[in-house]
Amino acid sequence: MADRIPEEKIDQIRQNVDIVEVISDYVPLKKQGRNYFGLCPFHGENTPSFSVSADKQIYHCFGCSAGGNVFSFLMDLEGISFQEAAVRLAEKANIDLQVNFTALGKEKKVSKELQPLFDAHELLCKFYHHLLVNTKEGQHALEYLLERGFTRESIDKFQIGYSLNSWDFVYKFLLKRNFSPESMEKAGLLIRRERDGTYFDRFRDRIMFPIFDRNGSTIAFSGRSLGADQPKYLNSPETAIFNKSKILYNYHLAKPAIRKMQHAVLFEGFADVISADRSGVENGIATMGTALTDEHIAILRQNVHSITICYDSDNAGIEAAYRAGNLLSDASFQIKVAMMPDGLDPDEYIKQFGYEKFQNEVIGGSLTWMAFKFLYFRREKNLQNEGDRLAYIEEIITEISKLDKAVERDHYLRQLATEFSLSLDALKLQQKQIFFAKKGTSNRTKPIQTPLVIAKPINELKPAHYTAERRLIAHMLQNRDVAYKVQELLQGNSFHIDEHQAIITYLFGFYEEHLAPDTSAFLTYIQDDHLRRVVANIEMMSINDDLSDKELSDYIKQVLNYQKMLKIKEKEVEEKEAERQKDYLKAATIAMEIIQLRKSL
């Protein structure tokens, strides 16, 4: 069992790690006033609503209400435990935790049912690799790879292996190590025969490419045939640990390069990634035979906002690049598209023309997203034909109208005017008509351009007591004396919002152990994720630095008055019931009580 990290070490980490620096590794941030803003990594958005406070060392999203401190950020984003987050942050701050790092680093949230699936894949990944590079049985497979341009370095880096030409070697291999055939079938490593219920290996006599999850754990394989056997690529089925729509090949290895360069290259398949890596493209990733998904985009958003799409240059590849580009554009990524000639895929291009030409001419010569759309919309059109030409021009003007920057719109309109010898003024007029029709405004109204728009929460009109309780909590978080003064003024009454009462109950417990306010430490002290988010939201409220006696009194009055308002409503119901029963004396008595309660408000 992992050693427990001492509380003083947790405090030391908190004091030496800057939350802005940590989050900047995942999310590009821009300073606005005292806080930093960026696109939230926890949900898809086009307008920055994710705020980070350097002063308070907390973050909060006004869009999805995610919030917390530097520990909870890593825990929620990476899906790791508190101890794992502490280990990472301690390493970042060069703090010696004086605990069992190995045990802490390996602690994972994996169920007993899923752990054998991970263990078997990890074992086979190493075994397949060993067969390829160290045995006579794998020699022909190794020579096959080397002849096709693979280097020993890339074979080791991507843990490429070889599966024996046997129907049951893996079955027996796993059985001897106490893996049940039933669970290995669920893992996609074995197949069960219908006729007799026996098992056989899924992969036989194939080059084995392991598929890793975002943490570097092996979760599936893709096996390539050595000859004419079909299918050319045999892939693991989707399992409890392998979901193609959530996996980006090479993400775990490419992540450092992606963060360093603030740029990723997106390929269609893992063979392209491996080939590109040999040419020096270390920030390459690929989908696993699926179209780009929202889950893929959410993973990418955590690390980068600039992407080059490098798909096959055949018709299917161009269509796929267009669909992927639209999804990425809608998610506010900066996009370029790398184009290759002669219908080649990246792997084939590199084999034919070499690494340097791929790096310089394909990746280095990538088109802007708008320039790619110029090419995309003219496919299968005869621009010598007037109808096709006019249709193309209108499609391009519509795309130009989607651009936010006036300079970009002007640039591409001029390009269009030059190519077809058209009046620039006429093109601008039509573009404006399309632009304002899209905006639903008159063409006499100019759209306002702002450099950075920060999404703010919708200002719902909350009850007075709700706002008062939140403002009291905000001041109580900043001042220990104010917290105890509020407790005294409430005269034994509770806050009316359950989550608010729970927060101050935690807060008084925290102040019993800590003499000074510390929101980041308090967020670690709270055990409930929802309450942590509420506290982060409250801490982002704008309040006066100094709480006057009158302001404090007004807040307390709103809280206490709400109790009286509830009492008044109860009395009004009692009064109506007394009148219904014709007990007018009782009704009159209740009416006097209501008057007295209202006077006390």
Q: Indicate which CATH number applies to the domain containing 65.
A: 3.90.580.10
Residues 154 and 134 grouped into a single domain: yes
Q: How high is the pLDDT of residue 565?
A: 75
| Banded model confidence at residue 461, pLDDT cuts 50, 70, 90 | low
Q: For 302-338, how does the pLDDT look when each residue is reduced to its tens digit (9 = 90+)?
A: 778 899 999 988 888 899 999 999 999 988 889 999 9
Q: How high is the pLDDT of residue 438?
A: 66
Residues 210 and 311 grouped into a single domain: no
Residues 406 and 424 grouped into a single domain: yes
Q: For 429-448, how does the pLDDT look when each residue is reduced to its tens digit (9 = 90+)?
A: 888 888 777 655 444 444 33
Which residue range is the domain that position 280 belongs to? 251-375
The identity of residue 5, as a single letter, is I
Furthest-apart CA atoms within the chain: distance in Å: 105
* CATH number of the domain residue 535 falls in: 1.10.860.10
Domain contains 599: no
Domain contains 457: no
d(CA 241, CA 256): 24
Q: What percent of the chain has pLDDT over 90?
A: 43
Single residue among 342, 375, 408 that ends a domain in this structure: 375
Domain contains 493: yes
Domain contains 591: no
| Banded model confidence at residue 571, pLDDT cuts 50, 70, 90 | confident
Cβ atoms within 10 Å, residue 285: 25
Residues 371 and 272 grouped into a single domain: yes
Domain contains 581: no
Q: For 381-437, how does the pLDDT look when each residue is reduced to its tens digit (9 = 90+)?
A: 898 899 999 999 999 999 998 887 889 989 999 999 999 999 899 888 888 888 777
pLDDT at residue 226 tops 60? yes
Q: How far is CA 63 from CA 44, 67, 153, 229, 293, in A?
A: 10, 11, 45, 52, 21
Beta strand pairing status for 306-310 and 334-337?
Answer: parallel
Residues 186 and 276 grouped into a single domain: no
How would DSSP label each residue in 226-254? SSS-SSSEEEPPP-SS--GGG-EETHHHH
d(CA 411, CA 428): 11
d(CA 384, CA 387): 9
Most confident range (mean pLDDT) of 40-44, 99-103, 146-150, 370-374 is 370-374
For residue 398, give every residue at least 6 positions away whose Cβ sits within 8 Å of its Cβ, in sequence order, or none.
434
Q: For 480-493, how does the pLDDT look when each residue is reduced to its tens digit (9 = 90+)?
A: 999 999 999 988 88
Q: Which range has the worst mean pLDDT, 138-147, 214-223, 362-371, 440-449?
A: 440-449
* CATH number of the domain residue 230 falls in: 3.90.980.10
Q: How high is the pLDDT of residue 283?
A: 94
Residues 315 and 348 grouped into a single domain: yes
Q: How high is the pLDDT of residue 443?
A: 41
| Helix or strand (DSSP H, E) at 191 | strand 190-192
Query: Can you tell me whether residue 4 is helix, strand or coil?
Result: coil
Domain contains 150: yes
Taking Cα atoms as reference points, which of 403, 404, 400, 402 lies closest to residue 413?
A: 400
Domain contains 445: no
d(CA 119, CA 110): 11
* In contact, 165 and 204? CB cutoff 8 Å: yes
Residues 351 and 404 grouped into a single domain: no
Task: Please give the DSSP secondary-structure letter assigned to residue 448.
Answer: P
Buried b / exposed e across 233-243, counting CB within 10 Å, b at 16+? bbbbeebebbb
Query: Can you tell me whether residue 275 is helix, strand or coil?
Result: helix
Residues 370 and 259 grouped into a single domain: yes
* CATH number of the domain residue 348 falls in: 3.40.1360.10
Average pLDDT over residues 57-86: 87
Residues 255 and 370 grouped into a single domain: yes
Q: How far is CA 108 from CA 1, 58, 81, 85, 91, in A?
A: 12, 25, 7, 11, 18
Q: Give the chain's domain count.
A: 5
Q: How high is the pLDDT of residue 254?
A: 93
247: alpha, beta or left, given left = phi > 0 and alpha = psi -120 to 50?
beta
Residues 201 and 314 grouped into a single domain: no
Residues 341 and 284 grouped into a single domain: yes
Domain contains 107: no
Residues 385 and 370 grouped into a single domain: no
